[in-house]
Amino acid sequence: MCGIVGYTGRKQAAPILLDSLSRLEYRGYDSAGLAVRNGTALAEVVKATGKLHHLADKTDQGRALAGCCGIGHTRWATHGDPSLVNAHPHVSGNCSGSGSGAVESDVVGVHNGIIENYTELKEKLLRRGYTFYSETDTEVAVKLVDYYYKKYKIGPVDAITRTMVRIRGSYALALMFKDFPDEIFAARKDSPLIIGTDEEESFLASDVPAILKYTRQVYYIDNHQVARVSPGKVVFYDLNGDEVPMPLTEITWDAEAAEKGGYEHFMLKEIHEEPAAVRDTLNSMVKDGKIDLSQTGLTEDVIRSIEQIDIAACGSAWHVGMAAQYVIEDLAEIPVRVELASEFRYRKLPLSRNTLVIVISQSGETADSLAALRVAKERGAVTLAIVNVIGSTIAREADHVLYTLAGPEIAVATTKAYSAQLIAADVLAVHLAAVRGTVSPEREAGLLEELAAIPDKISRILEEKDRLQWFSSKMANTHDIFFIGRGLDYAISLEGSLKMKEISYIHSEAYAAGELKHGTISLIENNTLVIGVLTQKELYEKTVSNMMECKSRGAFLAGITTNGNFSVEDSVNFTVYIPKTDEHFMASLAIVPLQLLAYYTSVNRGLDVDKPRNLAKSVTVE
C-alpha cells in the first residue's frame, strides 16, 4: 500500500526522501508528495500525480527544497480519487492542498492505512470550525491532532495519543509540528512503520529497503505507540504518554539485495534467487541432516497434541497453504483446513487449544492475515506464523514463528518468497509426520534428501528458460488461459494462474481439472490456451483426459510434467519437463516455469512487470 518516509538530520532532506520513496515504488502508488521544514514556521509542500519522477522534476530532484527535516509519501488511493488535492502530505491549515509552496500550518502529516470512523470525526471537526479541502481520511487525522494540540495546549505526543484513542482502523502516521521544526512524530496501529538511526540522523519508512542505504539500525515501532524522532535519537511512548524502551535491531542482509543487480526487472532477478532463498530457508530448519525447529518454540508435546490445523493466508501465501494441505494431510495424517484470511475472521470456525492455526505472510503485516491471527488467539488456538520479515507484527504476536530467509522481495508479484514459504511448509509437514510417528526415521531421511536437492533442481529449470521465452512470444496475444490440475497440481495451478493474470493482464483461471465439465468447459473455444500441471502419477491420466476434452473443442494445450515419468508430447502442443523429486514436493519445481512464463508474457506485452497496475506489494488495509 502507501509508502511513508521521513528524515531528520544535518543533510538536505528532500533528495534523501525522494531516494527512499523510489525504493518503495514496488508497494504501488498513484501520486507522491514531500513536506520539508527549514527551521521556520513554514513547511514547503510539493505534490505530483503519477510516477515519482514527476515529483522529482517538480523539485529539481529535491534540490529546490531547503531544509533538513521532512516527510514523504507515495499514495495508493482508498478515500478519494488519485489527484493533487488528495495526495499526501496533508496539512491542518485551510488551504487548497493541491499545489506546491510554503504552507503555514501547525501540523503536516502523511498516513498509511484506513481510518474507519473518519466520517464521524470529520463531522465533529466541522462543528469545531475546521474546513476540508480533500476527500481523504488522512486530512481528518491531521486536523484531529491539530484540534487536540490547540484545545488542550498539550505537546505533540499527548495530542497524538488522544487522537489514537479516538481513531478506529489502521494507520501509520508521520507528523511534523511547526513548533518542533527538526522533529518528526510517528504513530502506528496495524500498518507497518520502522525507524532507523545513524549517529546524527534518523529515518522513517514503511519498509527496510527504503532506508537500508543509510542505516542498518532500526526500531520496529509497536502497535499503539508514538515515537518522537530527532536527529540521531528516538524516544517511544505508550498511550499514557509514558516512555517505553524498545530494542534496536540490526538488518543483516546486504543493501545490494534490494537492487536489480544487472537484471532487467526485479521479478526476473528474484526468480533467479529462488535456489538461494530455498537453500537458506532449508538450512535454517535442517541441521546435520535433522530437522531443528527449536527456534520456533513449537515443542514435540504441542505437535503431538494437535488435532486440527487451520491455515489462514491471502493471495500467493494462501496458495502455499493449499499445497501444504495436501502434504500435511498425506504425511502427518492431520486434518487441514485452508481459509482465506479475509474470510477467516468473519466465520464462526470451531477452534480449540488442540487446533494449530498457521498464518502465512511474506511481510508479516498483511491486514487480513493479522486479523485472522488475533481471532485465532482470542479463540484459544495455538498459532504459528510463517513470515519473511523479522520483527513484523504477525511475527511478534504469534505464539510461534517460523522465519523464511528469502531476503527482500521488491517485485509486486511474489516468486522467491512464495518458494521459501513452500519449502518451509514442506519441512514443517515432514517434522509433524516424524514427531507423530506417521513416517519412519528412514522415510524422514529420504524426504529430507529430496528436499535438499530442490535448490539445484530449480537451477536446472532456470537454465532452460529460453524455451519458455519463445513460447510466451507465441501466446502473448492470448485472451483466455485456463490452468488445470488435480490434487497438489491444482494448488500449483492456482499460483500459476495468479502470476499470469497479475502481471500480464490476460484473463486467467485455475480449476480442479475434474470441475471443467461442470460449467467451465463452455468457455473453451478455438485457440484458448489450457495449461495442464501433470506431476502426480495417480492423477496424471485423468487430467490428460480432461485436457483432451478441451482440445476437441479447439483449445491449444501446454503441459508441465516430470522427466521420464510421463509422455504427453503426443497429446499436447507444448511440453515443459521438470526434474523428478518426491511427488509431495513437486510444487517447488513446477511453479518455476509458470513464473517464467508469466514474466516473459508480460515483457512481450510491453507491461511494467515489477509494478502491475492497481496492485500493491503489502496489503495493509482490509
CA dihedral of residues 443, 444, 446, 451 (deg, nearest 10): 140
Question: CA–CA separation, 556 vs 405, rounded Å?
Answer: 38
Residue 28 burial class via C-beta count within 10 angstroms: exposed 0-12, middle 13-18, buried 19 and up: buried
**Per-state percent for the chain, helix, strand, coil, to nearest 5:** 40, 25, 35
The total of other beta-carbon atoms located within 10 Å of residue 473's CB is 13
Grid coordinates representing 313? 493466508
Question: CA–CA separation, 539 vs 486, rounded Å?
Answer: 6
Burial 487-510 (b: 16+ CB within 10 A, else e): bbbbbbbbbbbbbbbbbbebebbb
- Angle CA 249–254–260, to nearest 5: 135
CA distances from 204 to 146, 172, 231, 293, 494 (A): 21, 11, 12, 33, 37
Helix axes 416-436, 587-604, angle to 10 degrees: 170
List all residues 6 or more positions away from 569 whose beta carbon is below 8 Å from its beta carbon: 575
Question: CA–CA separation, 494 vs 307, rounded Å?
Answer: 27
Cβ atoms of residues 138 and 78 within 8 Å: no
Question: CA–CA separation, 414 vs 406, rounded Å?
Answer: 11
Question: CA–CA separation, 226 vs 242, rounded Å?
Answer: 10
> Beta partners for 311?
338, 358
Cβ atoms of residues 162 and 155 within 8 Å: no
CA distances from 311 to 319, 381, 484, 548 (A): 10, 12, 23, 34
The answer, yes or no, to whether the previous bond of 335 is cis (omega within 30 of 0) is: no
Residue 476 burial class via C-beta count within 10 angstroms: exposed 0-12, middle 13-18, buried 19 and up: middle
Of the candidates 231, 171, 226, the one whose C-alpha atom is nearest the C-alpha of residue 16 is 231
3-state SS assignment for residue 122: helix
Backbone angles phi, psi at 151, to 5 degrees: -65, -45
Cβ atoms of residues 72 and 110 within 8 Å: yes
Residues with catalytic function: 2, 617
Cβ atoms of residues 438 and 564 within 8 Å: no
The total of other beta-carbon atoms located within 10 Å of residue 128's CB is 12
Question: CA–CA separation, 70 vs 51, rounded Å?
Answer: 20
3-state SS assignment for residue 260: coil
